Chains A and B, each alone.
Chain A
């Protein structure tokens, strides 16, 4: 992440929490529609460079499969010349992952129940003129890992 022109690196780690609205959580199982999730993560990165052109590096890793309380499920790192845009861009990436990338999670609760977490309907990706956004297939700064 470190670059001579970067004065800020913001790292966000999402971790498995031991509780949710449903109760006490033991672990979470993540699954993805992998090829589509890869495409969307790529678009998220491209979007960061469009909105914050001074961004130096963006990296995203989302884990899949079963994770225990306290484990890291997602990591986002952004480096920029200054902290303000690094924070903004990092925030933008994690919010987009939560709302627009086809990943689902099922909580296994301490009482034995298994519940899908209620999410957000994924929206089509459009630019301001309602044209579909396409990726360039160049970015390799993201990963889905078990």
Chain B
């Protein structure tokens, strides 16, 4: 069974993706890294940013190898600059 994940883009990543939110369907047991590959393939401009980007899954910073589950919310977070 494939899983569906919601992907959010913020800041520069939203500009690069051309959207703030979208959904991807992935094979079950897909990793965070696999999702990033799918997304950057769909949005070429995101590729140059990936080194400084952090990925959050359900509002916690995730690692490339973490497994995704159906319904997860994945966020692309460029370097933060509050204040």
Q: Would A119 and B81 count as touching, CB distance under 8 A?
A: yes
Kindly count the residue-residue contacts between A and B in the assembled complex, taking CB atoms under 8 Å apart.
Answer: 82
Which one of A116, A122, A125 contacts B77 once the chains associate, using CB atoms below 8 Å?
Answer: A122
Q: Given A31-B11, A33-B75, do A101 and B61 touch, yes or no (CB 8 Å)? A: no
Nearest CB in chain B to that of A76: its residue: B83
* B residues whose Cβ falls under 8 Å from a Cβ of A: 8, 10-12, 15, 52-54, 56, 59-61, 75, 77-83
Q: Which residues of A contact B (CB under 8 A)?
A: 14, 30-33, 35-37, 39, 62, 73-74, 94, 97-106, 116-125, 132
**Listed A/B pairs (20) with beta-carbon separation below 8 Å:** A14-B83, A33-B77, A39-B59, A94-B83, A98-B80, A98-B81, A98-B83, A99-B80, A106-B11, A116-B12, A116-B78, A117-B81, A118-B81, A119-B78, A119-B80, A120-B81, A121-B54, A122-B61, A123-B54, A123-B61
CB distance from B58 to the nearest CB of A (A): 9
Nearest CB of chain A from residue B41's CB, rounded to whole Å = 22
Majority secondary structure, B binding face: mixed
**A residues within 8 A CB of B80?**
98-104, 119-122
Q: A102-B10, A132-B60 are in contact. Are A121 and B79 (CB under 8 A)?
A: yes
Known: A31-B11, A104-B11. A36 touches B81 (CB 8 A): no
